[in-house]
Amino acid sequence: MSSDFVTLEGKSRGYRTAVVVLGVLAFSGLIAFIISYIMGHQMFGSSNVIPWGMPIVLLPYLIGLSAGSLILSSLTYVLGREEYKPIARMAVFLAIVLIFGAMLSIAIDLGRPEKFWRLFMFFYMNNMKSMFAINGVLYGGYFVISLLYLGIIFANKPSVTKIMGTLAVCWAVLVHMGTGAIWGFVAAREAWFSPVRPLEFLAAALASGVALLIVVMVLTLALSDRELKKEVVTSLGRLLTVFIIILLVLIVVDKLTHLYSPHREAAIYMLAGHYSWIFWCLQIGMVAVIPLAILFNPRLNKTILWVVLAAASVVIGVFFERYYLVIPGAAYPQQYYPGKIEGVWGALGSFNFAPTEIVLSIGIFALLALIFILGLKYMELLPARKPTKTVTEEPTEEAVEGAGEELAEENKEAPGPKEGSVATSEG
């Protein structure tokens, strides 16, 4: 069955341009990392109030996309849904690339990145009560399991694939709930502390994973002139609707539990503070309102274009959900003593976007997109064209167009600063 999948030709000018542009962006990210390593984290926007910045925003976001798309691949390999088969390999590969990106983001956010290996000295040099150490086990295991999973898919052993797929999916669920627990178990930060957090993260992972997969699938298949069944897209759209509703319910429950308890100042700050427009417009608007309006519209949810737009909105919105949790979520000052703490010790935390940090984040996305399109070229991930088409058509140009577009989509996951690179790869 492996003959169903082919590599991307990747010899056209568009593909090469994309590789060069991404390579340059990734290299500038490397330069930014070296600067931050030499100069220290003063080059970032973080402070002792908001200790975690953009790299830690990328961590749950990339993990979520990874876990989501791995879970989606199980539709084919575990549940045996043949209609999703064309995208299944791509989904697993995407998951591996994204988990790599997530681990890279953690390493970059460490003050001493050269001591990264200490996170992987399980039980020996690690304090296993720490959610970071537990997640070290989960992420490391997840990376290995996904690699084995992809290897077994390539080896084409359906029975082993099913077992491995089940394991990988269960592990992906654990990985994402563990990531949520990093925030949910911190009692000191009222806006984060919540037993719902791991489940909310899981729901966000599923929603953003399905959404990313819809976008990637449609762009790759449609633009490289491969067969695309409308029913596949619309059924994934229905799945996305379910996940968005679950996510919305969990967000509401989370906010209500915070508002109901007497310690509600931080929750009110999150809902009505000076950063709350991110929550209402970018998170709720792009994750729930826009996509649900599209997906519940009986006319629009049958068209591929609108479903893809809804999915893209979710992919971007979930980024801002993570952003809003990690950065403004830590900004509310802690109440060390009853009363109003005067001066700088009781001030709201502020976060400045440092150029180094933005270049670094763009660099991570560019590196992931680069690995992804190189993977398309060197591994049999794309579904083969229909035999008639393969014979009659020149495959290279369209395939490359597809890769370029997809790459643009990869870049679109990030906020504002990404726009430049999107334009570049489209142009």
Residues binding another protein (CB under 8 A): 39-42, 46-49, 51-52, 106, 109-112, 115-116, 118-119, 125-127, 129-133, 136, 182, 186-189, 330, 334-346, 349-350, 352
112 or 299: CB nearest another protein: 112
The residues with which 382 forms a beta bridge, in sequence order, are 6
Q: Concatenate the DSSP letters of all residues of 227-290 into one string.
A: ---HHHHHHHHHHHHHHHHHHHHHHHHHHHHHHHSS--HHHHHHHHSTTHHIIIIIIIIIIIIH
249 phi and psi angles, rounded to 5 deg: -60, -45
149 or 323: CB nearest another protein: 323
59 or 251: CB nearest another protein: 59
For the bound state, the minimum distance from the C-beta of residue 48 to another protein, rounded and expressed in Å, comes to 5
For the bound state, the minimum distance from the C-beta of residue 207 to another protein, rounded and expressed in Å, comes to 26
Q: How many CB atoms lie within 10 A of CB 238?
A: 11
143 or 183: CB nearest another protein: 183
For the bound state, the minimum distance from the C-beta of residue 351 to another protein, rounded and expressed in Å, comes to 10
**Token pair for 129:** 């009560």
337 or 388: CB nearest another protein: 337
| Cα–Cα distance measured from residue 139 to residue 175, given in angstroms and rounded to the nearest whole number | 6
For the bound state, the minimum distance from the C-beta of residue 259 to another protein, rounded and expressed in Å, comes to 18
> Taking a C-beta distance cutoff of 8 angstroms, is the pair 69, 94 a contact?
yes
| Cα–Cα distance measured from residue 48 to residue 51, given in angstroms and rounded to the nearest whole number | 5
349 or 395: CB nearest another protein: 349
For the bound state, the minimum distance from the C-beta of residue 360 to another protein, rounded and expressed in Å, comes to 15
| Cα–Cα distance measured from residue 405 to residue 374, given in angstroms and rounded to the nearest whole number | 14
For the bound state, the minimum distance from the C-beta of residue 51 to another protein, rounded and expressed in Å, comes to 4
81 or 189: CB nearest another protein: 189
For the bound state, the minimum distance from the C-beta of residue 325 to another protein, rounded and expressed in Å, comes to 12
